[in-house]
Amino acid sequence: MNGNINKRILALLGFCLLCVAAQAQVAVHGKVSSNGKALGGVRIDLKRDSDAKMLAYTFSDGEGNYHLQTAQGGKFTILYKALSFEPVALPLTATQTDTLINVQLMAGGVERLQEVIVHSKQPYRRGRDTIELSVKSFLQGDERSVEDLLRKIPGINVGTDGSIKIGDKEVEKVMVEGDDFFEKGYRLLTQNMSVQPLEKIQVLQRYSNNKQLKGIENSKKVALNLQLKEDSKAQWLGSVDLQGTPVGADKYYQANANLMNFGKKNKYYLLGSANNNGVDAVSSINHLIQSGSADEPGQIGVGITTPTLIDNTPSLPGFDYRRTNFNNDKLLSLNTILNPASTFKIKWLGFANPTKKSFYRNTVQSYQLQDIQFSNTEDYQFTRNIDNYFTKLELQYEPNAHTTLNYTGTLGSLGQNDLGALLFNGDRSQELTKSKGYLTNHNLSYSRKFSEREALVSSIRWIDQQSPIDYSIDRYYYEDLFGKKDIAAVKQHIENNLHYLGATTHYLNRQKNGDFFELALTAAYQQQQLNSQLMLQAEQEKIGESDSYPEGFSNEMDLSVFQTNLIFKYTFKGNKWEWTPRLQIGVVQNKLTDFGKRSRKNTLQFTPGLVGRWALHRKGRIETELYFQQQNAGLTELIPHYYSTGVRNFIKGMADMATLNSSGATLTYTYGSMTDRFFANLHIGHQVLFDYVGTENSPNPNFNLAQQVLLKNKKSSFYKTDLNYYLKVFGGNFRLDLGANSSDYETVVTGLGNRQIHTETYDYGLSFRSAWKSRLNIYTGYTIQSITYRSENKNTLKNSQGFLNIFLNMGKNIQCNLKNESYRFGSIMGQDSKTYYFSDFSLFYELQQQRMRFNMTAKNIFNTRFFRNAELTDLYSSSTTYRLLPGYISFGVDYSF
């Protein structure tokens, strides 16, 4: 297998070299002389006749010899120029890869050269905290959305889910002309907004979400700001994108419409989207509902939400979810920012998202744990109907330049129905999960800047959320567990409610010498209620039978936590270094009620830490962090009795309201930045969980009981590095990604006791993205992942992925794009490794004056209908086969106005 992997790596690298070599379509060499004497220093220019574009130039050496080449084809003019000699222009039509031209120059021409000033326009412009990128410098012709453009900028990493990172930091927000609509839900903007009105992209470093803290807080946040062309400002503009399959048994479509107006005072953004071709219309909904940054001064209650108790979302590790997402997504989003006065701003957004998703898989799961050996087969067809409605209102009032009062309120109705048709070990059943949740979240904050170095931020947040769940399955698999017969169905109802009230005050002070001081006081009350009841429904025709409620499978739980924290930070700043010790002291009062039985626990928690930064040299920086942390066990870790999380899984929490202790250290080295030809990031870390929540599993072919238990001393280490280097000789950027993770921990299996587990994961990746000033560009790469679990036995799984994207500008208005992917999942459970290939092809014809583009897209050209991947855990190994969207051809048109 390693030999095959090496062959693929060499083949991909060989393709890159061939593509680069393909640029040398025209090579010209020869000798320049005058009256039989060699001439050095003669400039030779090669221009294309069609548009007089300069393709290449060189100078003759001391012996009069010269050599130049270009990747372009067609008719050319080669021009020879030197002081005191008459210029010579020769037509050239290359019919072979190497052409010999010797030239004789005649005396004459210009004797004196006037002053020449050369203005060079760079793609980057760097300020103190801002990197400004010229959009034109990165356009290749196939970009439709802002996300398409961002993927082509070195240093900006866009994940498969649309998340944007610069280095190891995810951007806080993507703004348009300085205003933000979606915060960390920016995918709605970047995946739908057309790239045409953009002129520049600004990378804002050391960004502050609160303008009153700019220049005071120790911010390491990053944000993006999109700047528009002058003729696109304060104008209604937008785009319409329609695609569909006119022929074929399966009909697929995609429709998007954007309408926007970004004026100085008011901004509007309206978005409508619908598709059934696998694209997730609103992948960032959770970032919209749960907004804010937890590590920002003045923030409290960020990320507080009801826990997810039953999750049927399919997991697709290392695979593009759009190929197996049978969907029918619809989205309508209305957003506006109004400035009725210079001191008052109103921001409102709302969206509706009725969606249907279907998913198909077949899983074989094998347990091989000493005496516990069995396999399960699941053939699962899953359909989810989502009905989400959400609105958010933000009011900002600035009575003066140093004071800001901000209110944010959200209201959401979140509905979800999951229907699963399951064939489990040959027995057919139907699984139904219903949820109709409600959410309201309100935050009021006050910011006061006393001077250029001193500020105060206070806020208060109130959250109320209800997430009820009704679960049922019309098949009885649990006779060995409950000992009953003649059961027609199993049902479970869960009440899952949250009430939260929190307040905080942060004082910040920046000294003249650069030292920084922060003091914060927080207080929060959180009440979570969880009531669950499992019911075994008797068959109706059985006389005398009645529904039963098994003991130990119901919960009536109320968890109340009141916590106050005092947080202290101080930064000692030197010329090239800074150290920031911090300390958090908290008093936590816990009260747990279980069927009326109350228990209490009060703790004093300490969380110290130390952060250091050191500028080694002009381009090299080191950042390190040491910490010790104490925190409470969460609600799901304390649920006293069992509840069902799916067809064969039951879980319950610990019996103790434990305090979890951990410590760790990280080291980050950064060389250069995204504006340099070479930049790199190296991350190393180690963590020790002195107390952690593990599970004691009781696996059975028809069910699995999992009880959470408190375990000791889980150790984990990681390293990750990415190296980015722009090589002029190849005309593109190479990126090398290396990573490794290892962990040592315990699990418990009933009958086997404690098991020592050691895991290792290694990731290797190499990619190349060209930036050729030619009609051809490529993006190619290859990644390998190795996963190992070692306990009683050692099991290793190796997966790999390769890709090759080719973009070709075929003429003035015609472009095409070929996207190729290969996936190879390792052998497991006696099944051989198999490689799966996918290709997508797109052809574009653009009418620039009409701002219209026609396209033809062929998806899944090889019509691969299934693929199988493998998964390895400390309990079992599994092989899963997924059904894929079929191959199809669609035709579409984009229109911008």
pLDDT in tens, 89-99: 888 775 555 77
> By C-alpha distance, which of 766, 596, 715, 693 is closest to 5?
766
- Span of 102-116, 598-612, 672-686 with lowest mean pLDDT: 102-116
* Contact call for residues 817 and 143 (beta carbons, < 8 A): no
Rounded distance between C-alpha atoms, residue 638 and residue 660, angstroms: 13
Rounded distance between C-alpha atoms, residue 516 and residue 512, angstroms: 9
Decide if pLDDT at 888 tops 60: yes
* Contact call for residues 332 and 351 (beta carbons, < 8 A): yes
Confidence of residue 739 (pLDDT cuts 50, 70, 90): very high
Quick: pLDDT tens for 802-826.
Answer: 999 999 988 778 889 999 999 988 7
Quick: pLDDT tens for 517-554.
Answer: 999 999 999 999 999 999 998 887 665 567 889 999 99
Estimate to the nearest angstrom the gap between the alpha carbon of 686 and the chain centroid.
24
Q: What is the pTM of this model?
A: 0.80
Confidence of residue 891 (pLDDT cuts 50, 70, 90): very high
> By C-alpha distance, which of 840, 839, 872 is closest to 856?
840
Rounded distance between C-alpha atoms, residue 303 and residue 441, angstroms: 11
Provide mean pLDDT across the span 720-733: 90
Three-state DSSP string of 225-286: EEEECHHHCCCCEEEEEEEECCCCCCCCEEEEEEEEEECCCCEEEEEEEEECCCCCCCCCHH
Q: In this predicted structure, what is the pLDDT of residue 238?
A: 85
Confidence of residue 10 (pLDDT cuts 50, 70, 90): very low
> By C-alpha distance, which of 694, 692, 743, 750 is closest to 718?
743
Classify burial at 575, counting beta carbons within 10 Å of its beta carbon; exposed 0-12, middle 13-18, buried 19 or more: exposed
Quick: pLDDT tens for 338-367.
Answer: 999 889 999 999 989 899 999 898 989 888
Decide if pLDDT at 797 tops 70: yes
Confidence of residue 1 (pLDDT cuts 50, 70, 90): very low
Quick: pLDDT tens for 47-83.
Answer: 877 666 677 778 887 788 888 877 676 778 888 888 7
Q: What is the β-pairing status of strands 888-896 and 643-644?
A: unpaired
247-251 long-range contacts, CB within 8 A, separation 24+:
247/889, 248/888, 248/889, 250/886, 250/888, 251/276
Cα 713 to Cα 568, 659, 665, distances in angstroms: 28, 14, 15
* Contact call for residues 585 and 565 (beta carbons, < 8 A): yes
Per-residue tokens: 509: 């002070």
Per-residue tokens: 127: 């300020």
Which value, in Å, is the radius of gyration of the alpha carbons in the chain?
32
Decide if pLDDT at 852 tops 90: no
Decide if pLDDT at 205 tops 70: yes
**Residues, the chain:** 897
Type and span of the H or E element at 4: helix 2-21
Provide mean pLDDT across the span 845-857: 85
Percentage of the chain modeled with pLDDT above 70: 91
Quick: pLDDT tens for 453-494.
Answer: 899 999 999 999 999 999 999 988 888 888 888 888 999 999
Quick: pLDDT tens for 384-407.
Answer: 999 989 899 999 999 998 999 999
DSSP code string of 437-498: EEEEEEEEEEEEEEETTEEEEEEEEEEEEE--EEEEESS---HHHH---SEEEEEEEEEEEE
Provide mean pLDDT across the span 147-165: 81
Rounded distance between C-alpha atoms, residue 638 and residue 288, angstroms: 29
Provide mean pLDDT across the span 718-726: 92
Provide mean pLDDT across the span 288-300: 77
Type and span of the H or E element at 540: none
Quick: pLDDT tens for 314-326.
Answer: 777 667 788 888 9
Q: In this predicted structure, what is the pLDDT of residue 368?
A: 83
> By C-alpha distance, which of 46, 6, 45, 42 is closest to 25?
46
Rounded distance between C-alpha atoms, residue 621 and residue 220, angstroms: 14
Type and span of the H or E element at 39: none
More confident residue, 140 or 217: 217
Decide if pLDDT at 829 tops 70: no
Q: In this predicted structure, what is the pLDDT of residue 292?
A: 67
* Contact call for residues 243 and 890 (beta carbons, < 8 A): yes
* Contact call for residues 622 and 614 (beta carbons, < 8 A): yes
Decide if pLDDT at 688 tops 90: yes
Burial state string for 851-865 with b = 16 or more CB within 10 A and e = fewer than 16: eebebebebbbeebe
Rounded distance between C-alpha atoms, residue 895 and residue 520, angstroms: 52
Q: In this predicted structure, what is the pLDDT of residue 274?
A: 92
Decide if pLDDT at 11 tops 50: no
Confidence of residue 187 (pLDDT cuts 50, 70, 90): confident
Confidence of residue 180 (pLDDT cuts 50, 70, 90): confident
- Span of 210-214, 396-400, 426-430, 448-452 with lowest mean pLDDT: 210-214
* Residue 287 per-residue DSSP state: H
Decide if pLDDT at 284 tops 70: no
Q: In this predicted structure, what is the pLDDT of residue 21?
A: 39
Mean per-residue pLDDT over the chain, rounded: 86
Q: What is the β-pairing status of strands 678-699 and 704-727?
A: antiparallel
* Contact call for residues 16 and 732 (beta carbons, < 8 A): no
Rounded distance between C-alpha atoms, residue 806 and residue 870, angstroms: 30
Rounded distance between C-alpha atoms, residue 42 and residue 59, angstroms: 5
Instruction: Say how many C-beta atoms besides its own lie within 10 A of residue 576's C-beta.
Output: 11
Rounded distance between C-alpha atoms, residue 706 and residue 750, angstroms: 10
Quick: pLDDT tens for 498-525.
Answer: 999 999 999 999 988 889 999 999 999 9
Type and span of the H or E element at 146: helix 146-150
Rounded distance between C-alpha atoms, residue 95 and residue 8, angstroms: 34
| CB neighbour list of residue 544: distance below 8 Å, 6 or more residues apart | none
Rounded distance between C-alpha atoms, residue 419 and residue 233, angstroms: 47
Percentage of the chain modeled with pLDDT above 90: 41
Provide mean pLDDT across the span 558-586: 94
* Contact call for residues 842 and 857 (beta carbons, < 8 A): yes
Torsion of CA 61, 62, 65, 70, to 10 degrees: 0
Rounded distance between C-alpha atoms, residue 568 and residue 170, angstroms: 26
* Contact call for residues 885 and 861 (beta carbons, < 8 A): no
Q: In this predicted structure, what is the pLDDT of residue 285?
A: 66
Burial state string for 584-607 with b = 16 or more CB within 10 A and e = fewer than 16: bebebebbbebeeeeeeeeeebeb
> What phi, psi does 264 have (nearest 5°)?
-70, -35
> By C-alpha distance, which of 202, 204, 187, 181 is closest to 146?
187
DSSP code string of 167-193: TTEE-S-EEETTB-SSGGGTHHHHTTS
Rounded distance between C-alpha atoms, residue 116 and residue 276, angstroms: 58
Decide if pLDDT at 32 tops 50: yes
